Amino acid sequence: MAKLKGWRELPCGAIITDMAAVKENKTGAWRSKRPVWDKEKCKQCLMCWIYCPDSSIMVKEGKVIGINYEYCKGCGNCASICPAKAITMEKERK
Partner 1 sequence: MSGKGNYNGKGAKMILAKTGNEAMAYAMKQINPDVVAAYPITPSTEIVQLFSNYVSDGEVDTEFVAVESEHSAMTACIGAAACGCRVMTATASQGLALMHEMLFIAAGLRLPIVMAVASRSLSSPLNIHGDHSDSLASRDSGWMQFFCETVQEGYDTLIQAVKIAEKANLPALVAIDGFILSHCQERIETLDDQAVRDFLGVRQPQYNLLDWRNPILVGPATLQDYYFEFKRGEIEGMNQTLPIIQAVQEEFGKRFGRTYPALEEYRCEDAEAVLLLMGSACGTCRVAVDRMRAQGKKVGMVKLRVYRPLVWQLLKESLSKFKRIGVLDRADAVNSYGGPLFTEVTSVLYDLKEKPQVYSYVYGLGGKEFSPDDAIAVYEQVLSGKKDELVTYVGVR
57, with CB counted inside 10 A (0-12, 13-18, 19+), is buried
Residue type, 65: I
Window 12-41: residues binding partner 1 (CB under 8 A): 12-17, 19, 22
Question: Applying CB under 8 A, does 6 fall inside the site for partner 1?
Answer: yes
Question: Applying CB under 8 A, does 7 fall inside the site for partner 1?
Answer: yes
Identity of the residue, 59 or 84, whose beta carbon is nearer to partner 1 in the bound complex: 59
Evaluate whether 81 touches 48 at the Cβ level (below 8 Å): yes
Q: Which residues bind partner 1 (CB under 8 A)?
A: 4-8, 10-17, 19, 22
